[in-house]
Amino acid sequence: MTETAKKLQIALYWGAACGGCDVAVLDTNEFILDVAAIADIRLWPIAVDGKYADVEAMEDGELDLVLFNGAVRNSENEHIAKLLRRKTKLMVAFGSCAHIGGIPGLANRFTKEQIFETAYLDNPSIEPGNCTVPLPETHVAAGALDIPYAYKRVYKLDDIVDIDYYVPGCPPAPHQIKAVLLAIATGNLPAKGSVVGASNRTVCDDCKRERAEKKIKKFYRPWQILQDSSKCLLEQGIVCAGSATRSGCGVRCPNSNMPCRGCYGPAPHVKDQGAKIISALASIIDSKDPQEIDRILEDIPDVMGYAYRFGLPASLLQRRV
C-alpha cells in the first residue's frame, strides 16, 4: 500500500525588510523547482498571490514552515509575525534583520521624532510649507483609512515570537539556504533555537588572507590606503569585524577586498557581538600611553556603527537610552 506524500505547506514573509532574502531564495535557481515539487507555497508576497485572508483562514499549525525575514518595526510586522506563529509548526528567523535586527536596526540609535523630522519636515525636497504627517487613521470622504502604527524602535523577531531556528546573513548565502531547506525537508535539524545555515567558526577563520602579527599604530578608512589584497585587512589598519563574526557566508566581503561588517552575527556562544569587536580592535593597538591610545582611536569614527552594523537590536543594550 502506498500513500501519496502530503506536500509541505510553507510560507515566506517579510517584516521591515528589503527583499534581499527573497531574492536569495530565488538565487537557489533550479532548486526552487525542487522545492515546488515537495511544497505548496501558501504565502510569499514577492512571488505568489496568497493574501492575509488566506492565512487567517488556515487552521493553527496548518503550515509546516514559515521563513520570516525582516525586522519588526510596526504593528503590521508584529501582527503578521504572531499570526504566522499560530498557523505554523516551525518558524525560522531568516536573514540578518529577523535574526539580529539588521540594517533597519540602525534606527535604534535615533528616536522616532528625529527620523520623522528628517523625512517630513527638515528635508530639501519636501513640499514647501508641508505640515502633514502620516497617521495610523485618516478620515477621507469615502471612509476611514488605516496604516500600521510605527513603533519607536526596531525589534528582532524573537523579541516578538518564539523562534525555532535562525538562518543568519544579509542575505543568507544561497548554498546555505539550500542546505537548510533540505535539512528541514528530511527532518534533519539540530536542537530548537540553533543557528543553522552557517558554520561554528568565524569569518576570520575562513578568510584566506595571510595573518602575521597585528600591531596597529594607525587605523585607516578603507579608501585612505591602497591595500595589499593578500594580507589581513585588520593588520593593515582597516577595521574588519571578521574575527567576531560567524562564518558561512563564504567570506564574500573580504574576497571583494572590503572589510567584513558582521552580517552573519556573533560567533557561537557570544552574547554581544559589538563588545567582541571593540575588544578585538583594542587588543591590537600598539601603545602603552593613554594619550597615544586616544590619538590612535580618533581614527575610528562611529564606534557603534562598526560594532553593531547589523545587530544593534540584538546587542545587550539594544538601543540608545
Partner 1 sequence: MSGFEPKIVGFLCNWCSYTGADLAGTSRIKYSSNLRVIRTMCSARIDPTFVLKALLEGADGVLICGCHPGDCHYVEGNYKAMRRYPLLKKLLDDFGIENERVQLEWVSASEGRRFAEVVDKLTEQIRELGPCRVRSGLALDMAER
Partner 2 sequence: MARTIKIDPITRLEGHGKIEIFLNDDGGVDDCYFQIPELRGFERFVVGKPIEELPRIVTRICGVCPASHHMASAKAVDGCFGGEIAPVAKKLREMYYQAHYIHSHIAHFYALAAPDFVCGPDCDPATRNILGVVGKVGLEIGGAVIKARAMAQDIQTILGGRATHVVWCIPGGVSKGLTQAELDRIKPMADQLYDFTLFSLQLFRDVVLGNPGYVDLILNGPFTLNVHNMGLVDANNAPNFYDGQVRVVDYEGKEIVRYEPKDYFHHVAEHVEPWTYLKFPYLKQRGWHGFTEGIDSSIYCATPLSRLNVADRMATPRAQEAFEEMFSVLPQKPCRALLAQHWARLVEMVQNAEVLKNFCADPEITSPDYRVVPQNITGEGVGIVEAMRGTLTHHYTCDDKGICTSANLIVGTTNNNAPIQMVTKKVAQALIQPGVEVTQGVLNRIEMAFRAFDPCYSCATHTLPGQMPLEARIFQGGALRNVLKQNL
Binding residues for partner 1, rule: CB under 8 A, are: 75, 78, 109, 149, 151-153, 155, 159, 271-272, 274-276, 278-279, 281-283, 285, 287-288, 290, 293-294, 297, 300, 302-304, 307, 315-321
Q: Which among partner 1, partner 2, none contacts residue 153 (Cβ within 5 to 8 A by kind)?
A: partner 1
C-alpha cell read off for 63? 503550515
Q: 233 by DSSP, 3-state: which?
A: coil
> DSSP states of 299-314 as a string?
T---HHHHHTTTTTTT
DSSP-derived secondary structure letter, 119: I
**Beta-bridge partner residues of 216:** 285
Site for partner 2 in 121-140 (CB under 8 A): 123-128, 130, 132-140
CB of 80 to partner 1, least distance (A): 15
Do residues 76 and 148 touch, judged by C-beta distance below 8 A? yes
CB of 191 to partner 2, least distance (A): 30
Under the binding rule (CB under 8 A), the answer on residue 102 touching partner 2 is yes
Quick one: 62 or 159, whose CB is closer to partner 1? 159
Site for partner 2 in 202-261 (CB under 8 A): 221-226, 229, 252-253, 255-258, 261
- Name the phi and psi angles at 305, rounded to 5: -70, -30
- Name the phi and psi angles at 102, rounded to 5: 70, -170
Site for partner 2 in 160-189 (CB under 8 A): 170-171
DSSP-derived secondary structure letter, 175: H
Q: Which among partner 1, partner 2, none contacts residue 86 (Cβ within 5 to 8 A by kind)?
A: none
CB of 301 to partner 2, least distance (A): 6
* Best CA proximity match to 21, nearest among 194, 169, 175: 169
